[in-house]
Amino acid sequence: MNLIIFARINLHFVQPRIKDMIKKIAILMVIGMLISCSKSLVYSPSINLANQPIREKEIDIQCGVELLPESRPEELQGNKTTFGISGQLSYGFSDKFNLTIKGWGDAEGRERLIRSGYSLNGQFIKTLSERNRVIILPRIGMALNGNDIAGYGLGASIIYQNSINQKLSWYGGAGLLWGFRYLEKDINSKNEEKLPMGIGIIGNLGLAWQISNNIRLNCEVNPGYQINTFDENSQMFLSPTIGIGYTLNKVN
């Protein structure tokens, strides 16, 4: 009997401690989730066109450095862009269509986890003349915070390219982007329920200089204007890039 009474008294004191421990663990889990969530994601608007469109069965490799736009610069002391690296691999399925896999990453390390992203870009080429062409460029991508997918994006651009001579061409155009975290409403800083998403207008203006038969230099100045409909703010930015490209199996 005494043992039963002691057990009940002991349980009476232990239960609050267990509840308190569970609360503390829950708080720590929430804090951990908040810490692991990125305040802002980065994306890459560069296109890095070859001097001449890659042809059927040709492979083009490009890598470079650029200022990657921030999706929520207000969360990073107003920094609109972050220094990053990028690389892409393109394959010509025909003379009029090629597909590009692209990747990028934050090189500054402004957040605890590495922020990066990947995209799949198509190029539908309409030849106007020997030196002029129009390129339709659809894109689909995702942004990562560490190993977690933290955002998705869709977009499309129309690009005009003119070959000044066999070694130098310029290109320019514009397009629209749509980015979102998920298609469910969330609570923003104003305690309003909204979809965590944004839209943007991206401009592309660049040069492609053929240094040798296979190697080229790309330089771009990519202005943009993005609207964060979730946080109700907008920013203009400039995303310059410079890189080196190499074309395999180039037809002379």
- Same domain as 127, residue 12: no
- Same domain as 126, residue 216: yes
pLDDT of 47 over the 50 cut: yes
CA distance 116 to 87: 12
- Same domain as 184, residue 66: yes
* Residue 74's pLDDT band (cuts 50, 70, 90): confident
The neighbour count for residue 23, using CB atoms within 10 Å, is 10
- Same domain as 90, residue 66: yes
The pLDDT, as a whole number, for residue 155 is 97
- Give per-residue pLDDT as tens, 104-124: 999 998 888 899 999 999 999
DSSP 3-state of 27? helix
* Residue 39's pLDDT band (cuts 50, 70, 90): confident
- Same domain as 190, residue 69: yes
- Same domain as 129, residue 16: no
Residues 170 and 164 sit within 8 Å (Cβ to Cβ)? yes
- Same domain as 124, residue 50: yes
- Give per-residue pLDDT as tens, 200-244: 999 999 999 999 989 999 999 999 999 999 988 999 999 999 999
- Same domain as 73, residue 175: yes
Residues with Cβ within 8 Å of residue 93, at least 6 apart in sequence: 56, 99
Q: How many domains does the chain have?
A: 2
- For 51, phi and psi rounded to 5 degrees? -60, -40
The pLDDT, as a whole number, for residue 36 is 41
- Give the long-range contacts of residues 101-105, CB within 8 A, separation 24 or more: 102/44, 102/141, 104/42, 104/43, 104/44, 104/66, 104/68, 105/42
Residues with Cβ within 8 Å of residue 124, at least 6 apart in sequence: 96, 97, 135, 136, 137, 138
- Same domain as 28, residue 50: no
The neighbour count for residue 149, using CB atoms within 10 Å, is 13
CATH of the domain at 214: 2.40.160.20
pTM of the model: 0.80
- Same domain as 148, residue 120: yes
pLDDT of 28 over the 90 cut: no
Domain that holds residue 185: 40-248
Most confidently predicted of 9-23, 90-104, 185-199: 90-104
The pLDDT, as a whole number, for residue 250 is 56
The pLDDT, as a whole number, for residue 38 is 59
The pLDDT, as a whole number, for residue 24 is 45
- Same domain as 16, residue 75: no
CA distance 132 to 165: 11
Among candidate residues 124, 85, 119, 121, the one with its CA nearest the CA of residue 105: 85
Percentage of residues in the chain having pLDDT higher than 70: 84
- Same domain as 233, residue 176: yes
